[in-house]
Amino acid sequence: MLEITVNGIPYTLEELPGEKLSDLLRERLHLTGTKIGCGEGRCSICTVLVDGVPTRSCLTRSAKVNGKSILTIEGLRALRPQHQQDQREDLKALHPLQEAFITHGAIQCGFCTPGQLLTAHALLQNNPDPSVDEIRAAMNDVICRCGSYEAILSAIQAAAQAMREDGHVRPRQVVLGAQDLTHIGKPIARPDAVAKAIGTAKYTDDLQFEGLLYARVLRAGVPSAILRSLDTTKAQALSGVVKILTAKDLQHERKHGVYKKDWPILVGIDERVRYQGDAIALVAAETQAIADEAVQLIQPEYELRPVVSNPFQAREEGAEQLHDQGNTLKHIHFNKGDLEVGFAEADVIVEHTFSTPFMEHLFMEPECSIAVPGEDGGLELFVGSQIPFDDRRQVAEATGLPLEKVRVRGQKTGGAFGGKEDVAGQIHASLLAVATRRPVKLLFTRRESMLVHPKRHATSIKLRLGATQDGTLTAIQTELYGDTGAYASLGVPVMTRATTHSCGPYVIPHTHADCYAMYTNNPPAGAFRGFGVVQAAFGIESAMDMLAEELQLDPLAMRKQNCLHIGSTTNTGHYLTESVGLPECLDAISRWWAENGITVPFEPQTEEIRGQRLITCWGLACGFKNTGLGTGADDSSGVILKLLPAGRLQIKSGASEVGQGMLTTLQLIAAEVMSIPPDNINVYVMDTERTLDGGPTTASRQTYVTGNAVRQAANALRDRILDLLSKRFGVDAAAIQLSTEGAFWAEKRVSWQEVHDLLKQTPEGLEVECRYHAPETFPLDVGGRIHIAYGFAVQAVKVGINTETGGVKALRVVAANDAGRIINPLGFQSQVEGGVIMGIGHALMEDFKVEEGVIKSDRIARYDVPRMQDLPEITSIIVESKTSEGPFGAKGVGELVCVPTPPAITNAIYHAIGLRIDSLPVTKEKIKDWLEAHT
Ligand code: FES
Ligand code: FES
């Protein structure tokens, strides 16, 4: 027997052989606050304290903790110091660390939060006044893929101070935009942050269902083959196996795809395997262990085929043809002016090819779907997804159920970054649930997650860029190859964005771009924060610096000379009439350098930093990123607004909150219109039965599109209330004002409760439904206004290079962003810091390796991402160049911020040591080899 104490409660439990502590906590004690990110000891988000020591519960056997005392996230609030004072009603009885994490914006998706909080608690127990370096060292093992490191650092400092002093957690100072409105622009904490901080927030894997079956998918394992036979006999005979499905069991749609249906739900006999992650068979069993064992017993036979391992090979004559249409998913191109004329006018032309690798989202919550059959023959699907309504469509098509019989209930989502747009296990879990009439859970292992879901496109970009002697750009030609892997996923829109952004945010009279999005036998590539624009920016921003050097011009001045501005036309023919803050962003960086005494930013220096002798230098890059779907798509979102009793409001939206902070954005917009405090507004999202389709959470569109839907609905509800009161009390509607208490005019006061009761009796009632359609855009071949708006960014990055080891660190980042009006500065700050961290990962470490179609980066141990020690000092500068159509002038920021970081870093490396990095990521070996050859 095991004798343990968990959160102060003693337990005597049967000892189960081989059981992990995380399973004991989550499954036997139902303490699901402890999250599992990898199960391989690499992310540390499963950390609990065993006798006060941070311990990875996924690696620790239960038997090892016999006689010990365990603290999980659920027990932290009880350890709140006695002198801790309650600052806010909703933060009552929280530990200062929990309060600080919430109010400092350290909780985004929240999946890593339990591990972060417990590790921080252990640190403060041993060291009540830790230095920044001590915090960095203590927290380094716990990955936060949302990149909340700066906020976590500041929260730990604030909590430590509160615990040492008066119990008061100081608020975080964040950069504010305009302050001319009541709610918009005021920093607020996320409404879901408390549950995430105390461990009660439920993600899909935390849900419990009676009679639950566990699923596992047999994956092909080979990248290119024809499936010739499949023997499931041994697996069928295994006790505890309830159902095995293969392609012959598919009775309805056989393929899925968020953009194009080319991805087999299950590969059938004599059908083609196109990548290692292809699904061959599905197993549902009474336990996960049985399901895992059963897939090992299934025997497939393959006829191996040649592997198409890159997009160049895919275009070669005689290459293995992977799809009926051949290997070209799409040739994307545009042309403006006359290239020959443009290059003839140029005094200098630079020509270079740049390449970027596949990147893995590595959201901390692995994909999980639970499908539950209903008594009416329908199906409920619980899942963290970026597009719940599209999941519903795809599940209905695959199961043959009518659309209205499938209800997708989106759950808290532990990060997505584009990687949860395609279906993962949604269809497979649903098929098994329909076949067994029992609830079925399909939880990916980390390895399966890395193997299966689409990546950032590995891209090659060849550029030819010309300018006159004074630095005026005359012509640009770009040729891109995007490796879209085995299936289309979102390859067409992603590579379209890469193409349209490949000429940069500059005025160039003569432009021509060609892009080949090619099928290969690599994992599919699709949406990833930045959506093709990150790759494009690496090319053009590197080429801009190369051109500036050739012309002996200042890189910032040359960008300023050519940058888009109001009254200019983009390279795809969009005449810009408003909201182009790029010149202001460039000015902001110049000003910041001047104010901080940096007079020669591009001159290398030698500095002693944290005991290391480093060559330091600054680099610079610009970026722009479309807001919204654009290129002719109907970009719309529906919301339902309802006035509740006692001055409360409910927003219902089908849009997904995946950690980006949309909930506060919608709260603040409604609050501003209705004069109801954000705390009194609840936002219910992601339920295909109870909400209206909000469209995908992609393209940095939810602030603009769903935000506008909320604004319009709130305006309609407000008008309805004013009209009602006007008629009822015989007062001019224009004289009525709304406030936090209700409506008032002259001496008259009508409380929100009275307004509610009056409105309820009207035929229109308490609810307003609204569908907002963004302004029309045009396809690329039509040109002109292809997007509703663009965000603009400039980043300056100071790097430090260790000439002995070849190591490179981003030491300081100054990020100026024009995302239009800032709705919630706290959420904005989180997005800026998280985006910069992701950009640093792209530049300096992340490389999802695939060799001949075989995935090498199949666990976190083989895929490096930024950790706390990689955090630079980040300065955010807000440039609010408002749009007339966006809600209160907002655009979108989620993707924009990670666009300029990689080229700003590689440009800094060039200024520092003369090495032009043209393929990412930068490695120690590249730096060392260069230094050895050039010193
Ligand atoms: S280290 Fe335990 S889940 Fe990652
Ligand atoms: S908040 Fe840390 S992984 Fe999302």
**Higher-scoring residue by pLDDT: 173, 90:** 173
Ligand nearest to the CA of 38: 1
If you average pLDDT over every residue of the chain, what do you get? Answer: 96
| Token digits of residue 476 | 């640009």
Domain edge (last residue) among 384, 411, 443: 443
Please give all residues whose beta carbon lies within 6 A of any atom in ligand 1, as ranges: 36-39, 41-46, 56, 58
Domain edge (last residue) among 740, 773, 806: 773
Distance 84 CA to ligand 2 centre (A): 26
Cβ of 105 below 6 Å from ligand 2 = no
> What does the pLDDT read at residue 82?
67
CATH number at residue 737: 3.30.365.10
How far, in Å, CA of 507 to CA of 568, rounded?
A: 7
What secondary structure does DSSP assign to 510-576, as a single string? EEEEEEEEEE-SSPPB---TTTTHHHHHHHHHHHHHHHHHHTT--HHHHHHHHB--TT-B-TTS-B-
Which of 364, 365, 826 to mutate for ligand 2's pocket (most ligand atoms within 8 Å of CB)? 364
Distance 123 CA to ligand 2 centre (A): 20
Are 809 and 861 found together in one domain?
yes
Using alpha carbons, select from 67, 63, 69, 68 the residue that is nearest to residue 15.
Answer: 63
Using alpha carbons, select from 245, 698, 693 the residue that is nearest to residue 454.
Answer: 698
Which of 35, 104, 113, 829 to mutate for ligand 2's pocket (most ligand atoms within 8 Å of CB)? 113
Distance 61 CA to ligand 1 centre (A): 13
Model pLDDT for residues 873-915, shown as the tens digit of each residue: 999 999 999 999 999 999 988 899 999 999 999 999 999 999 9
Model pLDDT for residues 842-882, shown as the tens digit of each residue: 999 999 999 999 999 999 999 999 999 999 999 999 999 99
Are 580 and 643 found together in one domain?
no
The predicted model gives 781-799 an average pLDDT of 94
The predicted model gives 552-580 an average pLDDT of 96
Are 148 and 99 found together in one domain?
yes
Cβ of 109 below 6 Å from ligand 2 = yes
CATH number at residue 409: 3.90.1170.50
Ligand nearest to the CA of 143: 2
Are 481 and 413 found together in one domain?
no
> What does the pLDDT read at residue 85?
47
Model pLDDT for residues 818-838, shown as the tens digit of each residue: 999 999 999 999 999 999 999
The predicted model gives 238-262 an average pLDDT of 97
Distance 348 CA to ligand 2 centre (A): 46
> What does the pLDDT read at residue 761?
96
Are 139 and 246 found together in one domain?
no
Residues 142, 386, 679, 196, Cα dihedral to 10°: -30
Using alpha carbons, select from 714, 694, 716 the residue that is nearest to residue 706.
Answer: 694
Are 754 and 804 found together in one domain?
no
Cβ of 863 below 6 Å from ligand 2 = no
Give the count of domains, the chain: 4
Are 802 and 876 found together in one domain?
yes
CATH number at residue 59: 1.10.150.120
Residue % of the chain over a pLDDT of 90? 95
Are 60 and 91 found together in one domain?
yes
Cβ of 110 below 6 Å from ligand 2 = yes
Atom of ligand 2 nearest to the CA of 146: 4
How far, in Å, CA of 236 to CA of 284, rounded?
A: 10
Residue 505: CA count within 13 A, CB half-sphere:
31
Ligand 2 atom 3, closest CA = 144
Ligand nearest to the CA of 37: 1
Ligand nearest to the CA of 46: 1
Domain assignment present for 871: yes
How buried is residue 233: exposed, middle or buried, by Cβ count under 10 Å (0-12/13-18/19+)?
A: exposed
Using alpha carbons, select from 187, 888, 880, 179 the residue that is nearest to residue 588.
Answer: 880
**C-beta separation of 673 from 714 below 8 A:** yes
| Token digits of residue 478 | 């770009």
Domain assignment present for 899: yes
The predicted model gives 166-190 an average pLDDT of 94
Domain span at residue 836 reads 458-629+781-934
Distance 528 CA to ligand 2 centre (A): 16
Model pLDDT for residues 63-117, shown as the tens digit of each residue: 999 999 999 999 999 998 865 545 555 556 899 999 999 999 999 999 999 999 9
| Token digits of residue 421 | 């747009």
How buried is residue 523: exposed, middle or buried, by Cβ count under 10 Å (0-12/13-18/19+)?
A: buried
Domain assignment present for 316: no
Model pLDDT for residues 673-704, shown as the tens digit of each residue: 999 999 999 999 999 999 999 998 887 898 99
**C-beta separation of 894 from 831 below 8 A:** yes
Ligand nearest to the CA of 20: 1
Distance 869 CA to ligand 1 centre (A): 19
Domain assignment present for 282: yes
Are 757 and 807 found together in one domain?
no
Distance 419 CA to ligand 1 centre (A): 20
Using alpha carbons, select from 152, 65, 55 the residue that is nearest to residue 113.
Answer: 152
Cβ of 659 below 6 Å from ligand 2 = yes
Distance 22 CA to ligand 1 centre (A): 9
Distance of alpha carbon 774 from the chain centroid: 23
Domain assignment present for 335: no
Residue % of the chain over a pLDDT of 70? 99
Asked if pLDDT for residue 123 goes beyond 80, the answer is yes
Q: Spell out the residues 6+ positions from residue 453 whose beta carbon is closer than 8 angstroms to its own.
A: 361, 367, 419, 420, 422, 424, 523, 524
Are 893 and 818 found together in one domain?
yes
Asked if pLDDT for residue 385 goes beyond 70, the answer is yes
Are 62 and 35 found together in one domain?
yes
Domain assignment present for 128: yes
How far, in Å, CA of 140 to CA of 137, rounded?
A: 5
Strands (E), 246-390: 255-256, 263-264, 272-273, 279-285, 299-304, 328-336, 348-356, 368-373, 379-383
Distance 837 CA to ligand 2 centre (A): 12
Cβ of 144 below 6 Å from ligand 2 = yes
Are 797 and 679 found together in one domain?
no
Domain assignment present for 804: yes
How far, in Å, CA of 452 to CA of 488, rounded?
A: 14
Ligand 1 atom 1, closest CA = 41
> What does the pLDDT read at residue 892?
85
**C-beta separation of 415 from 399 below 8 A:** no
> What does the pLDDT read at residue 90?
54
Which of 21, 32, 40, 205 to mutate for ligand 1's pocket (most ligand atoms within 8 Å of CB)? 40
Distance 23 CA to ligand 1 centre (A): 12
Domain assignment present for 588: yes
Distance 118 CA to ligand 2 centre (A): 14
Domain edge (last residue) among 739, 773, 807: 773
Using alpha carbons, select from 24, 117, 8 the residue that is nearest to residue 65.
Answer: 24
Distance 416 CA to ligand 2 centre (A): 10
Asked if pLDDT for residue 225 goes beyond 50, the answer is yes
